[in-house]
Structure 1
Amino acid sequence: MTTPLYPPKPRPGDRIAVISPSSGLPGLLPLPYELGLTRLEKDFGLVPVEYPATRTMGSTAQERADDIHAAFADDSVKAVIASIGGDDQITVLPLLDRELIRANPKPFFGFSDNTNLLAYLWNTGIVGYHGASVMCELGRPGAMEPLTEESLRAALFGSGPYELRPAERFRDMDRDWADPTTFESEPETRPGGGWFWHGPERVVEGRSWGGCLEILSWLLMADREIQADLSAYDGCVLFLETSEELPAAEEVFRILRNMGERGLLQRFPALLMGRPKTWSFEQPNGPEEADRYALEQRKAVLRALALYAPETVAVFDVDLGHTDPQLVIPYGGLVRVDGPARSVTVTY
């Protein structure tokens, strides 16, 4: 495994590819998508470039693979960002041309189902960026969340260390993207509560690996983009988060237990656990139910760590993944977890 390299960064005025490697939701729900495109242009100074499957619901895996290849192969495109996630990007991976992508490294931004492509880039030797999608973060109602915008701007255009900060307030409830009034006001937020630290007070610095826990479990089941020699993960910083499907605490434990049984979980001396999504349209939890869900998930993670990785430093409720604000995590980039100082610094 070659240590992933940071691809060159775009500058304001450059072209950025907007692709849908998973779901073509921009074609079904254009309001947050168009708002996100506008912010890419006006606030970030980038020129969005769309591809044939970007707004196509039900596009084939080959069509989405073709868009990925076109985006990476185009010399005039300096970065790539996903419109949103989905649930079947794993079917695209076997169709990708690794040599083409390796020869044309570019910053790729996405999360959720885009964990597939991020893990693929990790194995290709390219640092990706877990976070930011056009519809969710750039298309946020009211305005972009300031912490999200600051992190994304630093990851897009900057390099060097960036210290993550806990959000003072966060949003968990969603509103209807098909309703124009959704975008006329700021969403409701709740107090953040800071991070929860667990484990030995030591400093860990290493390359990051992880992503959406459910997607990682699929990659493990399909045996895709997982290194056969697990020593490739030794000393890395694991970061995980769960999706809006709200997996049960017992399911979270079982996935981590199976990672432990495979000999994988214990490879990571540090874990960043994202603030869990606790509300969905199918499961609209009130504040007490939401807090209970988050606590049960934390207990499940701690239970797995106690069994398989008791010396791992863990930080919970980091604002990464399916949460708002959302901090961008360099996937394969350097992360420093400082237990004594209670700080987390990433290198963009």
Structure 2
Amino acid sequence: MVKPARPDLVVPPKLAPGDRVAIVSPSWAGPGVFPAVHDLGLQRLREIYSHEPFDVPTTRKVGATAQERAADVMSAFTDPEIKAVMASIGGDDQITVLKHLDPAVLRANPKPYFGYSDNTNLLMYIWNLGIVGYHGGSTMVHLGRPGAMHPVTEQSLRTALFESGEVVLAPSPDFTDEHGDWADVASLDREPNMRPGTPWRWGGHAVSVTGPTWGGCLEIVDWHLRAGRWLLAPEAYAGCVLMLETSEEMPSPIFVHRALVGMGERGLLEQFSAVVWGRPKAWDSINRQTPEERDAFTEEQFNTVDRVLDIYHPGVPRVFGLDIGHTDPQLIIPYGGQITVDRIREQVQVTY
């Protein structure tokens, strides 16, 4: 069967203050386990962005079936009173939801969808339908951040929600990959421990390229390399900018190597005009690496990516270390929107 070419990607309408936003849990129903964290995220959507967020039936329903979660996604997209859909959090089985969605109905009702991590599944799915989504945003992580939202995240989400036009990205002055204990409600008042920001790392030919983004969380992209069901033909990604980051599972260099080699052998890596790689999360509550160990983990991951790119796409412009994934703060990036990677000026520009 010949798979379709890349669709014409369309940016859904921007939001206005007072708009209703459906909060869905297409993966893990984290709000049902840690409601205080989710409620804090909802509160900030109301107070900072003047939206009217609300839960769908499965947002807090732990153990909801894939069919139930898919039905709520469909309902959120088709309800004319809802202007955007945002994931509460990620998880590890959203790929099982996709087969229960109706692509024709979603294509006819495009809306901004916000999420990352396991939500790479839905972002990839609606990308195939020609709908630009937003990689980033969740009520339980960056909106529900202890203490306050990071100002970089707050402004980036505001831009994605309300604004159009071009924005030049910049490294954050600080960051963290540590997180508190959600079971300890008192911890929601305490700001996380931050580290000084780091400059981005550049490589590849000194050229400037522009194209639509595609990618997401590497572990989820790897799922799709195995399943093959929701990937288009390699040529459909020609000229796109590959945007990848890794999760709190902290995949080993061997995993990163094998996933990228899989993309290379499929003929995917050679299609992309540039690569944007996120700062990896290098600390977790069950793997509390020291700052020095985290720096070494990050460097080894970047070196691994470099080695594979040099085999399958030598010279492709690349930039490492953007805050586009599981670290804090988080830049919200249009998934399928235009991004310019300028190796000459060492600048990244995003069109919202």
TM-score (norm 2): 0.97
- Find the aligned partners of 1:141 and 1:19 in 2 and give their Cα distance: 21
Instruction: State the match for 1:47 in structure 2.
Output: 52
- Which one of 26, 30, 53 corresponds to residue 25 of structure 1? 30
> Could you tell me whether the CA contact under 8 Å between 2:225 and 2:262 is conserved in 1?
no
- Which one of 198, 202, 206 corresponds to residue 197 of structure 1? 202
Identity of aligned residues (%): 54
Instruction: State the match for 1:164 in structure 2.
Output: 169
- Which one of 332, 335, 346 corresponds to residue 328 of structure 1? 332
- Which one of 5, 9, 26 corresponds to residue 14 of structure 2? 9
Q: Which amino acid aligns with 2:284?
A: S
Instruction: State the match for 1:265 in structure 2.
Output: 269
Asked if 1:88 corresponds to 2:93, the answer is yes
Instruction: State the match for 1:143 in structure 2.
Output: 148
Asked if 1:315 corresponds to 2:305, the answer is no
Instruction: State the match for 1:108 in structure 2.
Output: 113
- Find the aligned partners of 1:253 and 1:230 in 2 and give their Cα distance: 19
Instruction: State the match for 1:278 in structure 2.
Output: 282
- Count, aligned residues: 347
Instruction: State the match for 1:62 in structure 2.
Output: 67
Shift of 1:282: 1.4
> Could you tell me whether the CA contact under 8 Å between 1:257 and 1:304 is conserved in 2?
yes
Instruction: State the match for 2:300 in structure 1.
Output: 296
Instruction: State the match for 1:79 in structure 2.
Output: 84
Root-mean-square deviation over aligned CA pairs: 0.7
Q: Which amino acid aligns with 1:279?
A: W
- The runs of 5 or more residues in structure 1 that have no matched partner are none
Shift of 1:176: 0.1
- Find the aligned partners of 1:120 and 1:224 in 2 and give their Cα distance: 10
Secondary structure (helix, strand or coil) at the match of 1:252 reads helix
Shift of 1:340: 1.1
Shift of 1:192: 1.3
- The runs of 5 or more residues in structure 2 that have no matched partner are 1-5
Cα offsets for 1:214-233 (capped at 9, x unmatched):
00000111112210x21111
Cα offsets for 1:167-201 (capped at 9, x unmatched):
11101111101112211121111111110001111
TM-score (norm 1): 0.99
Instruction: State the match for 2:3 in structure 1.
Output: none
Cα offsets for 1:54-83 (capped at 9, x unmatched):
001111000000000000000000000000
Instruction: State the match for 2:41 in structure 1.
Output: 36
Cα offsets for 1:298-338 (capped at 9, x unmatched):
11101101110112111000110111010011101000011
Q: Which runs of 4+ in 1 moved over 6 A?
A: none
